[in-house]
Amino acid sequence: MPRLTRIYTRKGDDGTTGLGGGQRVPKDALRVATYGTVDELNSAIGVALAHGLVPRLAETLPVVQNELFHLGSDLCFLEEDKATYRIPQIEARHVEALERLMDELNEVVGPIENFILPGGAPGAAHLHVARTVCRRAEREAIALAHAEQVGAFVIPYLNRLSDALFVMARYENHQRGVPEPLWNSTL
């Protein structure tokens, strides 16, 4: 575990930041933007948790938040540095766990009959915000993968997580007895 005795370093005053392997890159580099969006996603999930979610989601999402730290470290290190530093990374098991969770929750909420508008219970609305941040992180990770190598499970994890957050929002509304807001295509 890293131990930080001082938060500021003054090293970023020139507009650069350090990757995990020590390389200095511009703060607006796509890699930095991608793991920054993952951090934003983690914060959005934290807001959803702080507003109170049903117990099944309240026990699941802290695990996801920890996995997002794995994802951040996965993105913060260049692929060639990962063997040297032996950092936590996203693995197939993380993706599979999200798939199992979605299967479990979908058994409860049932099939989708119409497009669902973001909203409903406050927790569900916050989960929808997290879902959209997750989709942005996925798009940024895909753009990064076009330019540089990324971990094999980074993009699949973000893809499954955005779907899982959608299902979690549905589950939150269902468990709270709040009807899902549905798209009215005739308006």
Q: What is the pLDDT along the chain (187 residues), one digit of tens a residue?
A: 566 565 556 665 667 777 777 788 768 889 999 999 999 999 999 999 999 999 999 999 999 999 999 999 999 988 888 888 888 899 999 999 999 999 999 999 999 888 998 999 999 999 999 999 999 999 999 999 999 999 999 999 999 999 999 999 999 999 999 998 888 887 8
* CB 161, CB 136: distance < 8 Å: no
State pTM to two decimals.
Answer: 0.91
Q: Is residue 19 part of a domain?
A: no
Phi-psi region of 22 (alpha: psi -120 to 50; beta: other; left: phi over 0): left
**3-class DSSP assignment, residue 179:** coil
Contacts 24+ apart (CB under 8 A), 84-93: 84/21, 85/20, 85/21, 87/20, 89/151, 89/153, 90/151, 90/153, 90/154, 90/157, 91/153, 92/153
- Per the structure, the count of domains in the chain is 1
Q: Give the domain CATH number at 71.
A: 1.20.1200.10
Q: Does some domain include residue 44?
A: yes
The answer as to whether 5 is a domain residue is no
User: In a 3-state reduction of DSSP, which class is residue 24?
Assistant: strand
Residue 16 is assigned to a structural domain of this protein: no
Residue 11 lies in a domain: no
Domain interval for residue 93: 24-176
Phi, psi (deg, nearest 5) at residue 25? -135, 160
With respect to residue 15, please indicate whether it lies within any of the assigned structural domains.
no
**Would you say residue 74 lies in a domain?**
yes
